[in-house]
Chains A and B, each alone.
Chain A
Amino acid sequence: MTSRRVRRLEYLALSIVVTALIGIFTLTPIYWLVVMSLQPFTVSGIIFPFQYYPLHPTLNNYFTIIGGSYAFLIPLRNSIIVSSSVMALALTIAPLSAYAIARLRFKYKVQSLFLLMIGGMVPAIVTIAPTYVLLRAVGLVPSLLAMIIPNVFYSQPLCVFLLTTYFCALPFELEDAAKMDGYTPLQTFWRVILPISTPGLFSAGIFSFLGSYGEFMLASVVTEGYMNVATVPIGVLRFSQSVGLQWTRVSAAIMLSLIPVIVIVLVFQKWVIRGLSAGSVKY
């Protein structure tokens, strides 16, 4: 073997080691969650002797929390309703603003973007009390709408920013050509810009979904302890507090609620990473 081939093999081996190390670092907690959720249930919560992988794996924990008095599918359903609605509404509003900021002529466009983005940096703790009062005054508490509406706008700064950077990167000749064909700005947006912007829309959609899926602070206030409108973070937390030591069931609940997130990351990883590196992501 030539030394060059040796060096290539070394490089490959080292790459695999490095990849494995990163995998161990990030996946170990999730591995343990899966292991615990597959362990047979014990009343004391202790598994004896300690096992690093399940000796007798079972799906019973999942069946228990789905059925009976736990009814864990309710928060899961609520979360999916909330997050899908937020995504749909956010994707209706955000592209309009982003298009105006990125491609139309008007005064104060930088200021508009600033106004949106600075707003997005207001910490959640500042917003929850007045928002709760407001939503209660209009009779939306407790309901899923009380989470959907605020989250649509919580996601606006990020969605508009992501789409603005995306639209800014498109060639300006597009509008010139559209103008030659006699398109109005709205027609240009609808027929020229939107059709080629699916990657940007994907990123914005994923972030609005994930953001509202994990949102806890406002949800914990506007659900007022009613479990029929609880979303997943509340459901899991309350469940873990009420059953205490039953870690096998709690693990199953956490795992169930992570499945949508993991699926999204695996299926849409390209857009997730692209969106993340466009900067300014809060979750």
Chain B
Amino acid sequence: MENESKIALLLILPSLIGVAIFYYYPVAQTVIFSLFRMKDTQDWLASPFVGLGNYVTVLTDPHFLYAVFFTLYFMGVSIFLEFWIGLGMALAAFWVPSKMRGIVLVFIVLPWAVPPIMEGLIWKLLLNGNVGLISQGLVTLGLFKSPPLFLESPPLAQLTVMAADAWKMSSIMAILLLAGLATIDKEILDAAKVDGARTWYRFWKITLPMISPMIMVALLFRMMDALRLFDLIYAMTGGGPGTVTYTLSLWAYTYYVDYVEYGYGSAYAMVVFLAVLLISFLYVTRLSKHLRFKGEIK
């Protein structure tokens, strides 16, 4: 079997090396960057070493604290919306006649496939005071005298980006939960029906508990995404109005690209990384439980 091990190693090497270069090496380099007072990336060796100085500056920056608050606020509201909308769509896709399921699934998947930069611009268009369908629609319906300032009023802008995120990400939630629903043994539900359990009771006491492992995976997955949120905000509000929709990733990007302060940018990026790392460990261990391997040598 010695030979098989060698072949296996050879086969797996291209992916591993590439991932090492484009994922792991940058992490190490970012850690190093974050310890220097860097104006440009060209010569970090020549930059003054500041130890954890950048982290101290970043962690005590009110912008940082507000970005943490906003990221958590975003995570809470958008994942709440996505979970219930996604669950609704998954149950609907599960419930309709199988001939219609294909159409429902196409409807569900389309928003997921829209790249986030385009999504941000599309929502900007929908909410535009002059030509936006939603803005003008609300006025036509008589709910508002003039179009609401969706992206100009700070509290409203925060909620607006969460709703926009929910439009796209409810899709993935629905698909994941649908995969969970498909694993439920129909006989259990039928038995409960025979026993006289009402629809609502069956949903809360049987369906939801049975798909709870999938719910956990879906929620962890969405939390990771929300933590590194960038594209949607960048295209939709650019962090504004003021800085109320700035996320941690957007601050890091601003420091990299606009101020060319790689040290601060890296410190911001590392905070995002550590938060995501924590959740991804939970996530990967959960996922790997579902895999069976052949010839595993422990």
Write the residues of chain A forming the contact surface with B, with a CB cutoff of 8 angstroms: 11-12, 15-16, 18-19, 22-23, 25-30, 32-33, 35-36, 45-47, 50, 52, 93-94, 96-97, 99-107, 109-110, 112-134, 149-150, 152-154, 156-157, 160, 164-165, 168, 172, 185-186, 210, 213-214, 216-217, 220-221, 232-233, 236-237, 240, 247, 250-251, 254, 257-258, 261-262, 264-266, 269, 272-273, 276-277, 279-283
* Complex contacts, B109 vs chain A, CB 8 Å: 265, 269, 272-273, 276
Given contacts A18-B96, A30-B110, A130-B33, contact A116 B19 (CB under 8 A): yes
Given contacts A102-B294, A106-B4, contact A18 B41 (CB under 8 A): no
**Cβ-neighbour of A237 out of B5, B104, B121 (below 8 A):** B121
Q: Size range of the interface on B?
A: 35 or more
* Complex contacts, A125 vs chain B, CB 8 Å: 228, 230, 248-249, 252-253, 268-269, 272
**Cβ-neighbour of B126 out of A32, A168, A272 (below 8 A):** A32
Decide if B122 touches A254 in the complex (CB within 8 Å): yes
CB-based A-B contact count at 8 angstroms: 326
Decide if A172 touches B294 in the complex (CB within 8 Å): yes
**Cβ-neighbour of B24 out of A119, A164, A257, A273 (below 8 A):** A119
**Cβ-neighbour of B27 out of A25, A103, A126, A164 (below 8 A):** A126
**Cβ-neighbour of B125 out of A153, A251, A273 (below 8 A):** A251
Write the residues of chain B forming the contact surface with A, with a CB cutoff of 8 angstroms: 1, 4-5, 7-9, 11-12, 14-16, 18-27, 29-30, 33, 41-42, 85, 89, 92, 95-97, 100, 102-118, 121-123, 125-126, 128, 130-131, 133, 136, 140, 167, 171-172, 175-176, 178-179, 217, 221, 224-225, 227-228, 230-231, 234-235, 248-249, 252-253, 256-257, 262, 265-266, 268-270, 272-273, 276-277, 280-281, 283-284, 287-288, 291-297
Decide if B225 touches A282 in the complex (CB within 8 Å): yes
Report 12 cross-chain contacts, Cβ distance below 8 Å, ordered by A residue: A11-B97, A19-B104, A96-B15, A100-B12, A120-B19, A121-B283, A130-B26, A217-B230, A254-B122, A265-B109, A280-B287, A283-B116
Given contacts A97-B15, A105-B1, contact A217 B114 (CB under 8 A): no
Decide if A114 touches B284 in the complex (CB within 8 Å): yes
Decide if B15 touches A160 in the complex (CB within 8 Å): yes
Decide if A254 touches B121 in the complex (CB within 8 Å): yes
* Complex contacts, B130 vs chain A, CB 8 Å: 45-47
* Complex contacts, A18 vs chain B, CB 8 Å: 92, 95-96, 104
CB closest residue in chain B, given A95? B11
* Complex contacts, B26 vs chain A, CB 8 Å: 122, 126-131
For the complex, what is the distance from the CA of A21 to the CA of B19, rounded to whole Å?
A: 42
Given contacts A130-B33, A217-B230, A276-B109, contact A120 B128 (CB under 8 A): no
**Cβ-neighbour of B22 out of A29, A154, A250, A258 (below 8 A):** A154
- Most chain A CB inside 10 Å of its own CB: which residue of B4, B18, B24, B295: B18
Given contacts A106-B8, A131-B22, A168-B293, contact A26 B171 (CB under 8 A): yes
**Cβ-neighbour of B110 out of A32, A165, A186, A265 (below 8 A):** A265
- If over half of A's interface residues share one DSSP class (helix, strand or loop), that class is named, otherwise mixed; here it is helix
Decide if B175 touches A130 in the complex (CB within 8 Å): no
For the complex, what is the distance from the CA of A232 to the CA of B118, rounded to whole Å?
A: 9
Decide if B107 touches A26 in the complex (CB within 8 Å): yes
Decide if A122 touches B23 in the complex (CB within 8 Å): yes
* Complex contacts, A247 vs chain B, CB 8 Å: 125, 128, 131
Least CB distance, B298 to chain A, in whole angstroms? 9
* Complex contacts, B256 vs chain A, CB 8 Å: 128-129, 221
* Complex contacts, A99 vs chain B, CB 8 Å: 11
For the complex, what is the distance from the CA of A216 to the CA of B118, rounded to whole Å?
A: 10
* Complex contacts, A93 vs chain B, CB 8 Å: 14-15, 18
* Complex contacts, B172 vs chain A, CB 8 Å: 276, 281
